[in-house]
């Protein structure tokens, strides 16, 4: 909960982006510096995915996941990626330049900066009060942080104990970066993931979609009421959604452009998705099935590569499954195997609930409706491949979500919260793909390139970026004017005596009853009076002696200090 903790977490995420840049360069050796800047969000998510996969491999191999092993793995992966990039192609460096945005785009980017800052502000001091957070994700994260491995006995008693360890491993690395088991500040890791996703969608589409078609959708991500409310909650659903949606977008681009780096990048993201939550592999399957359908005209060249994408996710799932089998823990699949298929009624109800939820305006605004309209518009201009991919993807993701709900009898169909968390991935995916589909419809099925974008006068570009900077600065400035950010500290539980308030002679705020007992013994031997030990409300104890008046308190303080006790006068805390 300190600036240092936030700084440590920020540093980790910068390093993750660095790792991702190395991986992206290995996949895409011709990447220029300008492109690396544009694809910073993709690079960051690739860095996250790489670390999640690598740490899961360590866990499965029984190698402790600690700060040292994480650093070594990160350095090794960076070196291997850089070497691979260098071998495959010499990079042509180009100077980075500022994109020529219009004033309208500048205004939307300014709003995007404000909403991201607002989410950051919310996450900074969020307690670990989300049920699944303290019941499952938090304990697994802390176990990895403290011990570097997951004890099978510990997992056996935990809800979702068979869930893959990718996200807890990432979060445990976050705790190492923070420097303590500060699960409050750790919520900001979700902000970094969300900001990375926004940057990834923006970066992937910035050269393929006009800003005015793209930015409303990028802005809408953290405005969607259900994403807004869960933006930094310690669940696996949003990270899963970010990974699947980015992978689905990369696959959509590959279907059209066939760039060699797009499928390996999607594979890595889907492997990480499979290591985030057990349903990740099903959602990866949904993406691949849609891509297979959209490339049915080129089975020989496309299908093996797409199947390989799914195999990456399946391999990641199996990797963890092997660990579960080896430790005699229940598998990752539905508890009753395929028995759920006999309950057709629940299957139908699940489909109904999922569909109903996705069209609930108060949760997802118009995202799915607009996505379906975008598919229809693509069909109208005969952009068959994208329309087919996007349309089938919507259907498979709905069916996939239905199967996930159907197969787990513990999930209540009436629990809107559970269903919303589940279908969040569907929504994030359609929000990421809709601008691409709308651009294609606008261009009559042709592919848009930035060469067609109008050149803007320098004053316009300058004004647009001034707007962005103003938006980014205005929000924190207004908060500073209101008194600035508060950082909770131990001193919050030390109350200075004032006026008529009762006073205490406080001998210290030790961090254990053992330390309190030592103070007590010393006070007893000095004959200062009855010593009381209570929780001080800031995670420590208050060892004190009651004073009848301020003068009596000051006298006791003098006597205590004379006996070598670090006594101070404090006000009796209000109840």
Give Rg (Cα) of the chain: 27
198 vs 270, beta carbon nearer other proteins: 198
The answer to the question of residue 537 lying near other proteins (CB under 8 A) is yes
CB count within 10 Å of CB 294 equals: 25
The answer to the question of residue 456 lying near other proteins (CB under 8 A) is no
Distance separating alpha carbons of residues 437 and 334, to the nearest angstrom: 35
Please give the C-alpha separations between residue 486 and each of 37, 231, 479, 489, 492, in angstroms, as whole numbers. Answer: 33, 21, 11, 9, 11
The answer to the question of residue 64 lying near other proteins (CB under 8 A) is no
Smallest gap, in angstroms, from Cβ of residue 495 to other proteins?
Answer: 13
Smallest gap, in angstroms, from Cβ of residue 545 to other proteins?
Answer: 20
Distance separating alpha carbons of residues 321 and 333, to the nearest angstrom: 9
Distance separating alpha carbons of residues 459 and 464, to the nearest angstrom: 8
Structural tokens at position 274:
């499979």
With CB under 8 A as the contact rule, the residue among 71, 212, 480, 496 that binds other proteins is 212
The answer to the question of residue 465 lying near other proteins (CB under 8 A) is no
Q: What are phi and psi of 571, to 5 degrees?
A: -75, 150
With CB under 8 A as the contact rule, the residue among 57, 60, 67, 128 that binds other proteins is 128
Distance separating alpha carbons of residues 401 and 291, to the nearest angstrom: 18
* CA quadruple 407, 412, 413, 415: dihedral sign: negative
348 vs 384, beta carbon nearer other proteins: 384
Instruction: Identify which of 77, 97, 70, 93 has the alpha carbon closest to the alpha carbon of residue 26.
Output: 77
The DSSP-derived string for 486-545 is ----GGGG-----TT--EEEEEE--SSHHHHHHHHHHHHHHT---EEEEE-SSSSEEEEE
With CB under 8 A as the contact rule, the residue among 37, 60, 118, 293 that binds other proteins is 118
Count, residues near other proteins per rule CB under 8 A: 73
Smallest gap, in angstroms, from Cβ of residue 396 to other proteins?
Answer: 22
Smallest gap, in angstroms, from Cβ of residue 162 to other proteins?
Answer: 15
78 vs 209, beta carbon nearer other proteins: 209
CA 387, 393, 398: angle at the middle one, nearest 5? 135
Distance separating alpha carbons of residues 308 and 320, to the nearest angstrom: 19
With CB under 8 A as the contact rule, the residue among 37, 57, 63, 158 that binds other proteins is 158
497 vs 515, beta carbon nearer other proteins: 515
With CB under 8 A as the contact rule, the residue among 296, 301, 449, 535 that binds other proteins is 535
The answer to the question of residue 119 lying near other proteins (CB under 8 A) is yes
The answer to the question of residue 103 lying near other proteins (CB under 8 A) is no
147 vs 465, beta carbon nearer other proteins: 147
The answer to the question of residue 213 lying near other proteins (CB under 8 A) is yes
List, in sequence order, the alpha helices (H) in 258-295. 262-274, 280-294
Residue in this structure with the two tokens 């589940």, named with its chain if needed: 422
Structural tokens at position 291:
């891509």
85 vs 383, beta carbon nearer other proteins: 383
* Distance spanning both ends of the chain, measured CA to CA: 24
264 vs 435, beta carbon nearer other proteins: 435
Q: Which helix (H) or strand (E) holds 568?
A: strand 568-571
The answer to the question of residue 135 lying near other proteins (CB under 8 A) is yes
Collapsing DSSP to helix, strand or coil, 479 comes out as helix
Smallest gap, in angstroms, from Cβ of residue 154 to other proteins?
Answer: 7
The answer to the question of residue 115 lying near other proteins (CB under 8 A) is yes
The answer to the question of residue 220 lying near other proteins (CB under 8 A) is yes
Residues 388-447 that bind other proteins (CB under 8 A): 434, 438, 441-442, 444
Is there a contact between 181 and 78 (Cβ–Cβ < 8 Å)?
A: no
Smallest gap, in angstroms, from Cβ of residue 42 to other proteins?
Answer: 23
Smallest gap, in angstroms, from Cβ of residue 435 to other proteins?
Answer: 9
The answer to the question of residue 114 lying near other proteins (CB under 8 A) is yes
CB burial readout 177-186, b (16+ within 10 A) else e = bbeeebbbbb
Q: Which helix (H) or strand (E) holds 571?
A: strand 568-571
Question: Which range binds other proteins by CB under 8 A, 124-132, 246-254, 461-469, 499-507?
Answer: 124-132
With CB under 8 A as the contact rule, the residue among 228, 520, 522, 559 that binds other proteins is 228
With CB under 8 A as the contact rule, the residue among 60, 147, 411, 569 that binds other proteins is 147
Smallest gap, in angstroms, from Cβ of residue 65 to other proteins?
Answer: 15
Distance separating alpha carbons of residues 200 and 216, to the nearest angstrom: 15
Residues 168-187 that bind other proteins (CB under 8 A): 181, 184
Smallest gap, in angstroms, from Cβ of residue 440 to other proteins?
Answer: 9
Residues 349-388 that bind other proteins (CB under 8 A): 365-366, 370, 373-374, 376-377, 380-382
Smallest gap, in angstroms, from Cβ of residue 139 to other proteins?
Answer: 3
Smallest gap, in angstroms, from Cβ of residue 204 to other proteins?
Answer: 19
Distance separating alpha carbons of residues 190 and 84, to the nearest angstrom: 31
Smallest gap, in angstroms, from Cβ of residue 49 to other proteins?
Answer: 26
Is there a contact between 357 and 424 (Cβ–Cβ < 8 Å)?
A: no
The answer to the question of residue 122 lying near other proteins (CB under 8 A) is yes
């Amino acid at each position: 909960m300190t600036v240092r903790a936030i700084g440590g977490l920020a540093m980790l995420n910068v390093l993750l982006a660095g790792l991702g840049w190395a991986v992206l360069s290995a996949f895409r050796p011709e990447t220029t510096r300008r492109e690396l800047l544009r694809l910073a969000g993709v690079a960051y998510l690739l860095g996250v995915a790489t670390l999640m996969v690598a740490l899961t491999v360590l866990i499965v191999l029984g190698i402790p996941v600690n700060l040292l092993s994480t650093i070594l793995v990160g350095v090794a992966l960076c070196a291997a990626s850089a070497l691979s990039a260098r071998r495959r192609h010499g990079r042509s460096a180009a100077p980075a330049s500022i994109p020529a945005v219009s004033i309208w785009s500048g205004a939307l980017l300014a709003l995007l900066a404000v909403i991201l800052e607002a989410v950051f502000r919310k996450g900074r001091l969020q307690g670990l009060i989300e049920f699944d957070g303290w019941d499952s994700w938090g304990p697994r994260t802390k176990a990895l942080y403290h011990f570097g491995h997951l004890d099978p006995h510990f997992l056996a008693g935990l809800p979702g104990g068979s869930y893959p360890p990718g996200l807890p491993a990432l979060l445990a690395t976050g705790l190492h970066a923070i420097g303590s088991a500060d699960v409050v500040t750790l919520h900001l890791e979700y902000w970094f993931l969300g900001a990375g996703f926004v940057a990834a969608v923006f970066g992937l589409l910035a050269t393929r979609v006009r800003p005015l078609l793209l930015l409303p959708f990028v802005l809408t991500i953290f405005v969607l009421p259900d994403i807004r409310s869960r933006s930094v909650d310690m669940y696996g659903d949003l990270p899963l959604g970010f990974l699947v949606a980015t992978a689905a977008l990369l696959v959509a681009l590959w279907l059209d452009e066939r760039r060699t780096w797009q499928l390996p990048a999607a594979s890595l993201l889907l492997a990480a998705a499979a290591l985030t939550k057990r349903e990740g592999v099903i959602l990866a399957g949904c993406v691949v099935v849609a891509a297979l359908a959209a490339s049915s005209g080129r089975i020989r060249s496309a299908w093996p590569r797409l199947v390989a994408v799914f195999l990456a996710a399946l391999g990641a799932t199996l990797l963890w499954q092997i660990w579960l089998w080896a430790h005699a823990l229940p598998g990752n699949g539905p508890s009753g195997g395929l028995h759920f298929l006999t309950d057709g009624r629940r299957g139908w109800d699940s489909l109904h609930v999922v569909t109903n939820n996705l069209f609930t305006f108060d949760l997802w605004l118009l995202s799915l409706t607009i996505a379906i309209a975008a598919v229809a518009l693509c069909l109208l201009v005969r952009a068959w491949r994208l329309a087919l991919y996007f349309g089938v993807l919507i259907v498979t993701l709905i069916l996939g979500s239905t199967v996930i709900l159907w197969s787990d009898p513990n999930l209540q169909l009436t629990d809107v919260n559970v269903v919303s968390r589940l279908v969040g991935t569907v929504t994030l995916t359609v929000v990421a793909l809709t601008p691409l589909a709308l651009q294609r419809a606008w261009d009559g099925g042709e592919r848009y390139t930035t060469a067609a974008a109008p050149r803007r006068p320098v004053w316009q570009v300058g004004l647009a970026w001034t707007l962005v900077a103003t938006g980014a600065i205005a929000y924190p400035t207004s908060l500073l004017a209101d008194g600035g950010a508060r950082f909770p500290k131990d001193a919050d539980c030390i109350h200075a005596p004032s006026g008529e308030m009762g006073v205490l002679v406080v001998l210290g705020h030790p961090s254990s009853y053992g330390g309190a007992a030592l103070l007590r013994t010393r006070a007893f031997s000095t004959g200062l009076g009855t010593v009381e030990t209570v929780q001080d409300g800031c995670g420590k104890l208050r060892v004190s002696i009651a004073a009848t008046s301020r003068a009596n308190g000051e006298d006791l303080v003098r006597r205590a200090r004379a006996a070598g006790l670090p006594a101070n006068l404090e006000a009796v805390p209000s109840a």
